[in-house]
A = this chain, B = another copy of it.
């Protein structure tokens, strides 16, 4: 279903020869309207890829006709020439669609620092445009994969409208969004300003709370496009809920497919004085390589949880912190609690609960274990 689940969208994914192996690497998602309202959230990395710089400008207009996405190259750190490549890509898509380049968003993913092979990409755009169909969402989702082992798609049904989405991301998953590209579509009729509000909130609660390896990418982009083709103006709260659910579902798929991961770890922080502090504590725990190794080894090493909590500025008293792993409170009052032998770490899903005993706020950060496979995958070749 993916991005073509809602009415008004066509998509396609083709092999343009950007990747060395013969796989799909170029995707196009077109909004046929009647509305073109759109919103975007981008990486907070100060080193931004050319397509991010371009698409940020496009999104200031609140309108997107089409999104072109490529794997096989991030077009980041490529200087003015790289930006011209992005510009040329948007111009070419606009030409094929008989539209304006100013409403064509561009996303790229892959190795940083190398120019895209434009001699293959530009002809590929003719190819992908020729294959646009109402059921091309899956092919598009396939084309944006890099080290992703599976395509990531999702959809939810609202009252008379649909929300669909696709995403890619397996490594460099961190703070200001898991390193990732995602396009979410809807046939609801929603103005750009409302899309912007809803998307920021949804991303803040989902992609932003996935932190698998602490590395923030230069290319992170999440776009929300509304065709209005259902003719339905949704209830704002319901619409926000559906978009958030699609983003959460995609984020979960990114987590499960994270490079080398054997465990999906939820760091649930409760009893925080402020939600921000709950997020900060969860993120600190999620970034402890030592803890991530311990969970990989199915060792309930709560000392590594506490030592990560202690690096934050959050309000807490060391002797009032409690920690549970998979429901067993093995740390109570900052010291050993229930018998650690009771903790069953064999299941793939692991929940680490940190109770700061400092207030009513909470947040959950999602991460993975750190494995030899992660090291192999990220040392064996450039990504």
CB of A335 within 8 Å of the partner chain = yes
The answer to whether A78 and B336 have CB atoms under 8 Å apart is yes
In the complex where A77-B335, A379-B294 touch, is A45 in contact with B310 (Cβ < 8 A)? Answer: yes
Query: Digit string of A190-234 for contact with B (CB within 8 Å is 1, else 0)?
Result: 000000000000000000000001111110000000000000000
* Contact A334 B47, beta carbon cutoff 8 Å: yes
CB-based nearest B residue for A371: B375
Query: A331: CB under 8 A from chain B?
Result: yes
Check B311 against A74 for contact (C-beta < 8 Å): no
A62 interface residue per 8 A CB criterion: no
Query: Within residues 329 to 383 of chain A, which ones have a CB less than 8 A from any CB in chain B?
Result: 331, 333-336, 369-372, 374-382
A76 within 8 A of B: yes
Does A111 interact with chain B (Cβ within 8 Å)?
yes
The verdict on A138 contacting chain B, using a C-beta distance below 8 Å, is: no
Q: A318 in the interface, Cβ–Cβ < 8 Å?
A: yes
Instruction: For the A-B complex with A113-B331, A215-B289, A218-B303 known, give 17 more contacts whose Cβ atoms are closer than 8 Å.
Output: A47-B321, A77-B303, A78-B335, A78-B336, A81-B335, A112-B303, A113-B306, A214-B214, A215-B304, A289-B378, A293-B377, A293-B378, A294-B379, A297-B380, A299-B382, A301-B382, A374-B375
- Offer 11 A-B interface pairs, CB within 8 angstroms, sorted by A: A45-B307, A78-B336, A79-B333, A81-B335, A112-B307, A113-B331, A115-B336, A175-B311, A214-B288, A215-B304, A296-B375
